[in-house]
Amino acid sequence: MGGLGTSSLSSLWLWLWIPTFIILSVSVSAELQRFDHPVNAADASLTFLVIGDWGRKGTYNQSQVAFQMGRVADKLNIDFVVSTGDNFYDDGLTGIHDPAFQYSFSNIYTANSLQNQWYNVLGNHDYRGDVKAQLNPILQNIDHRWFCQRSFIVDAEIAEFFFVDTTPFVDKYFFKPKDHKYDWRGVLPRDKYLSNLLKDLETALKDSTAKWKIVVGHHPVRSIGHHGDTKELVTHLLPILEANNVDMYINGHDHCLEHISSTSSQIQFLTSGGGSKAWKGDIHNNERDGVKFYYDGQGFMSVEIQQMNVKVAYYDIFGNVLHVLNLSKGLQSVI
| Feature table: binding site for Fe cation | 53, 86, 89, 124, 218, 253, 255
User: Is there a catalytic annotation at residue 227?
Assistant: yes
DSSP state string for 163-185:
E---GGG-THHHH--TT-----T
Residue 176 burial by Cβ neighbours in a 10 Å radius (0-12, 13-18, 19+): exposed
CB-based contacts of 324: which residues, under 8 Å, 6+ apart? 311, 312, 313, 314, 334, 335
The DSSP output letter for 4 is -
Q: Nearest Cα to 255, choosing from 217, 215, 222, 282?
A: 282
Q: Nearest Cα to 103, choosing from 72, 137, 66, 132?
A: 66
Residue ranges for the binding site?
Answer: 53, 86, 89, 124, 218, 253, 255
Q: Which of the following is catalytic: 144, 219, 227, 323?
A: 227
CB-based contacts of 33: which residues, under 8 Å, 6+ apart? 6, 7, 8, 11, 149, 152, 153
The DSSP output letter for 12 is G
Alpha-carbon distances of 69 from 50, 110, 117, 120, 130, rounded to whole Å: 9, 10, 14, 16, 28
204 close to 240: Cβ distance less than 8 angstroms = no
Active site residues: 227
